[in-house]
């Protein structure tokens, strides 16, 4: 033994078999390797050669531990049947990765696995992966999962593959911001050969009290559904004031748009709504409604209006009470086709 090296020689001579074997073994801390060469001939025929090599190694590099194993086997008589093996693993806290290779002749199998989890106060990530490939035999398998959270953002993905041309993918992403204005985005998709479905939604604060939202759904490039909405809040200490506008297409046979408004003070309230179908007749329709409420010390009044295409309906209901203890209710209705209803009821 010299510097961790062992040598061995073995020979044989006979009519049927003759040859020799030379071996070498190296031993070091965290390392062992062996190499053997055998030459032989059968019945004094041509000399053939066999090579056998193997190695084990373990290393520590900072917080990362690494272990590897390798071996090879080759014969000069069968040069297309050489065998090679390699395995390597790396580990640390929250991390483990394995790589393996096995080859016989021109056929090579490659395998890989990965596990990783990293966490901190505002960061959390987990990754899982496994793959197996053999290009000669058209084998290409993969499964991968990833999930990441950073502050208020989330990203998740899942990938599956059964060949180089057949892959399925799912992913979900959520992004959020709060300063200087609120912002939210959500995207999701499912994709596989011949099919693709996606979903997108966003909410954005353009300025204080004004928001815009959008929804987009894509069904395999055959149908797209989209909706947008705008919300404005102009309220203050003396008045409530909210409005909403929306537009949608693809959810029905014709596009739909509309608006909704609400306002109120200590004496008056208003609610308005408008919906419009934007197709060709008879699918083109418009509906508009509003309700107003007002009151004073002795009077309460409700006004309502409805317009449907060219037809209009409106009415008023008034309740009044006087100091003389007289109370009456007035109803005034205007219907389509010039129909008018007017009634006054005294309340005892």
State what percent of residues in the chain have pLDDT above 70: 91
Give residue 228's pLDDT: 96
Closest CA to 50 of 15, 13, 21, 17: 21
Report d(CA 86, CA 260) in Å as an integer. 68
Domain membership flag for residue 331: yes
* Position 45 pLDDT exceeds 70: yes
| 296 part of a folded domain | yes
Q: How confident is the model at residue 318 (pLDDT cuts 50, 70, 90)?
A: confident
Rounded to an integer, the average pLDDT of 196-213 is 93
Q: What is the pLDDT of residues 78-95, one digit of tens each?
A: 888 899 999 999 999 999
Band (pLDDT 50/70/90 cuts) for residue 189 is very high
Highest mean pLDDT among 238-252, 291-305, 308-322: 238-252
Answer yes or no: is pLDDT of 342 > 70.
no
Share of the chain above pLDDT 90, in %: 45
CA–CA gap between residue 189 and residue 45 (Å, rounded): 67
Number of domains in the chain: 1
Q: What is 233-299 written as a DSSP string?
A: E---SS-EEEEEEEEEESSSSS-EEEEEEEEE-SSEEEEEEEEEEESSTTSEEEEEEEEEEEE-SSE
pLDDT of residue 345: 64
For the segment 40-62, the average pLDDT, to the nearest whole number, is: 86
Q: Which residue has the higher pLDDT, 122 or 283?
A: 122
Q: Would you say residue 92 lies in a domain?
A: no
Weakest-pLDDT range from 120-134, 184-198, 247-261, 300-314: 300-314
Q: Tokens 């056929």 appear where?
A: 107
Structural domain contains residue 14 = no
What pLDDT was estimated at residue 18? 77
Give the residue numbers spanning the domain of 263: 235-348
Q: Which pLDDT does position 1 carry in this prediction? A: 43
Would you state the pLDDT for residue 145? 97
pLDDT tens sequence across 288-312: 888 888 888 778 888 888 888 878 8
Residue 11 lies in a domain: no
Peptide bond into 333 cis (omega under 30): no
Q: With bands split at pLDDT 50, 70 and 90, how would you rate the model's confidence at 325?
A: low
Domain for residue 278, yes or no? yes
Asked if residue 278 has pLDDT above 50, the reply is yes
216-225 tens-digit pLDDT: 999 988 889 9
pLDDT at 56: 95
Token pair recorded at residue 278: 């934007």
Q: For residues 106-130, give the mean pLDDT.
A: 93
Residue 66 has pLDDT above 80, yes or no: yes
User: 194: Cβ–Cβ under 8 A, 6 or more apart, which residues?
Assistant: none
Give a yes or no: residue 315 inside a domain.
yes
> With helix as H, strand as E and coil as C, how does 120-182 read?
CCCEEEEEEEEEEEEHHHCEEEEEEEEEEEECCEEEEEEEEEEECCEEEEEEEEEEEECCCCC
Confidence of residue 8 (pLDDT cuts 50, 70, 90): low
Output the pTM of the full model.
Answer: 0.72
Tell me which of 242 and 294 has the higher pLDDT.
242
Neighbours of 77 (CB within 10 A): 10
Q: Is residue 257 part of a domain?
A: yes
């Amino acid at each position: 033994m010299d510097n961790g090296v062992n040598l061995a020689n073995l020979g044989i001579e006979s009519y049927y078999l003759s040859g020799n074997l030379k071996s070498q073994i190296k031993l070091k801390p965290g390392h062992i390797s062996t190499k053997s060469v055998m030459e032989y001939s059968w019945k004094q025929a041509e000399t053939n050669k066999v090579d056998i090599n193997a190695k084990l190694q373990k290393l520590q590099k900072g917080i990362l531990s690494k272990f590897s194993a390798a071996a090879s086997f080759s014969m000069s008589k069968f040069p297309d049947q050489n065998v090679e093996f390699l395995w390597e693993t790396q580990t640390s806290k929250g991390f483990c990765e394995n790589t393996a290779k096995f080859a016989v002749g021109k056929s090579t199998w490659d395998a890989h696995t990965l596990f990783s989890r990293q966490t901190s106060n505002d960061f959390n990530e987990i990754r899982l992966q496994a793959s197996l490939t053999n290009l000669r035999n058209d084998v290409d398998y993969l499964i991968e999962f990833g999930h990441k959270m950073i502050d208020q953002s989330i990203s998740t993905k899942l990938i599956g593959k059964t060949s180089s041309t057949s892959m399925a993918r799912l992913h979900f992403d959520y992004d959020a911001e709060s300063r200087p204005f609120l912002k939210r985005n959500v995207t999701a998709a499912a994709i596989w050969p011949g099919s693709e479905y996606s979903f997108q939604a966003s909410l954005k604060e353009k300025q204080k009290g004004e928001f815009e939202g959008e929804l987009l759904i894509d069904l395999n490039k055959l149908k797209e559904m989209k909706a947008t909405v705008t919300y404005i809040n102009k309220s203050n200490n003396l008045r409530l004031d909210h409005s909403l506008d929306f537009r949608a297409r693809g959810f029905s046979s014709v596009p739909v748009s509309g608006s909704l408004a609400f306002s109120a003070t200590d004496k008056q309230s208003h609610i308005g709504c408008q919906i419009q179908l934007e197709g060709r007749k008879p699918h083109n329709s418009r509906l508009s409604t509003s309700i107003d409420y007002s009151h004073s010390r002795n009077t309460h009044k409700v006004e309502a209006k409805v317009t449907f295409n060219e037809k209009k309906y409106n009415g008023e209901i008034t309740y009044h009470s006087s100091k003389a203890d007289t109370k009456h209710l007035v109803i005034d209705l205007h219907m389509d086709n010039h129909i008018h209803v007017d009634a006054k009821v005294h309340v005892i």
